[in-house]
Amino acid sequence: MIAAITKQVRGSERAPLDPARDALAKIRQLNEGTDGLNAFLSVVDEADLSECQDTGARLAGVPVAVKDNLATLGLPTTCGSRILEGYRSPYEATAVRRLRDAGAMVVGKTNLDEFAMGSSTENSAFGPVHNPRDPSRVPGGSSGGSAAAVAAGLVPGALGSDTGGSVRQPASFCGVVGVKPTYGRVSRYGLVAFASSLDQVGVLAHTVADAAALLEVVAGHDPRDSTSVDVRVPDFSERLGEGVDKLVVGVPREYFGEAVEPGVRTRCTVAVDALRAMGCTIRDVSLPHTRYALPAYYVIATGEVSSNLARFDGVRFGVRDEDGASLEEMYGRTRTLGFGREVKRRILLGTYALTAGYYDQYYGRAQKVRSLVAADFGNVFREGVDVLFTPTSPTVAFRLGERIEDPLQMYLADIFTVTANLAGLPAVSVPIGDVAGLPVGGQIIGPWWGEEVLLQVASALESACGEGGGVT
């Protein structure tokens, strides 16, 4: 889809602004109102669209959406929270700026779980997002707005953020492609921090080729981000369509336990058989510390949340409650009124885990588990496995409200995705079919800096299953 738009713009078949105007018309039609998707929190005014001067630019004329925890000029950056309602950043995220420099048109900011904390996009202060495939179900989270916007055809591509699966899990639930790159591959400058050692900017698109095109643009070293790594950015599109007959695909047994719904298991079995039919060597492998990954993740993530969100105090930026009689009371009232329930829960859990006397018992031990999880992956890749295949999520999209009162069940939606974040590995979710009309995603995890082979296998699987997960 992205290639088609750029070809039309370069060939003067379409004016550079026409794709963005069409996207805004679709957003007005499908996003707003009581029956709307609620995927966008803000959109640009058509009169404010600026025409790309270079019609030969890589993404000339391509309309894109940006998750609302990435700073932008010209549109609010709310993080889906009342505490930042109406806030406008004085600077722009590097990933967003690189999209603009490549000719893309940012048409709006997408809805998300507040401060990216959630797996269903029901925690937004501005209402939940509805899954385009079934509006009674969640789109996944926390990048649910970006995934829904792509799945509904409102935009061909979008940026999200992935701290524990927040790009890949909604991609699975909505039936699109979602890529989380290696930690340090894409600059985090301008991404509002959730858990700094886990956060990574990712991309969502209809196809693997479109996702590769977006990733090539946003990837690369950025001196403004101390966690950005100065490594070569390869042509991620170069190996798409190449054969995979010489590759070894590991299938970790820990990812196929009782938690996996039967329909999801069947679709994954079909996908593995398709890889085998294409010549891949399928190898049963073990990642023994996987069982400890989810609790370790939530200790680390909440600890970093407690630290990162201390800056939202009603003084420096954002909403302030003016009724406090003292500075301390103003702090307390601002944070109590400004943050939602899930954010407060995670701040409290993280503050406890970092408390003197408990730090080593919780946060320190979780970091040791993190090292063991990363070592498991390293051992498997050193033994000749090129990529790993797992389900993205143990279930298809669940119903709105089904898990909102049960945090543990909600957290279990991330059981197969958090490991890549703990280890800093690249991973992609690609549609592999439907169960009762609801999409299923297959997750491919690659070695550090292995996005090329990751996307090569994802492209092959996409072709075998049919674009959009045609296996039924």
166 belongs to the catalytic site: yes
The 387-391 sheet, strands edge to edge? 40-43, 105-110, 63-67, 157-161, 201-205, 177-180, 427-435, 438-445, 387-391, 248-252, 281-285
Residue reference for tokens 């803000």:
42
pLDDT at 41: 98
Buried b (16+ CB within 10 A) or exposed e, 153-170: ebbbbbbbbbbbbbbbbb
Selecting among 42, 142, 146, 172, the annotated active-site residue is 142
Please, which residues have CB within 8 angstroms of residue 316's CB and are 6 or more apart in sequence? none
pLDDT at 322: 87
As a whole number of angstroms, the distance between CA 248 and CA 134 comes to 36
Per CATH, is 1-472 categorized as 3.90.1300.10? yes
From first CA to last CA, the distance across the chain in angstroms is 23
DSSP class of 72? -
Q: Which residue blocks in 354-413 are alpha helix, DSSP H?
A: 365-382, 407-411
Q: Note if the pTM is more than 0.75.
A: yes
Exposure of 84 by Cβ count < 10 A (0-12 exposed, 13-18 middle, 19+ buried)?
A: buried
470 — pLDDT class (breaks 50, 70, 90):
very low
Question: 47 or 423: whose pLDDT is higher?
Answer: 423
Could you tell me if 5 and 62 are in contact, meaning their C-beta atoms sit under 8 angstroms apart?
yes
pLDDT at 65: 98
Looking at every residue in the chain, the average pLDDT score rounds to: 95
pLDDT at 442: 98
For helices 365-382 and 293-308, angle between their N-to-C axes, nearest 10 degrees: 130
As a whole number of angstroms, the distance between CA 99 and CA 319 comes to 30
Selecting among 42, 67, 89, 146, the annotated active-site residue is 67
349 — pLDDT class (breaks 50, 70, 90):
very high
Give per-residue pLDDT as tens, 69-115: 999 999 999 999 999 999 999 999 999 999 999 999 999 999 999 99
For helices 293-308 and 341-353, angle between their N-to-C axes, nearest 10 degrees: 100
The residue extents of the domains of the chain are 1-472
Smallest CA-to-CA distance from 418 within 366, 461, 383, 354 is with 366
DSSP letter string, 233-250:
---TTTTTT---TT-EEE
42 belongs to the catalytic site: no
User: Is residue 278 predicted with pLDDT exceeding 50?
Assistant: yes
As a whole number of angstroms, the distance between CA 57 and CA 18 comes to 16
User: Is residue 471 predicted with pLDDT exceeding 50?
Assistant: no
User: Is residue 183 predicted with pLDDT exceeding 60?
Assistant: yes
User: Is residue 469 predicted with pLDDT exceeding 70?
Assistant: no
Selecting among 120, 143, 146, 166, the annotated active-site residue is 166
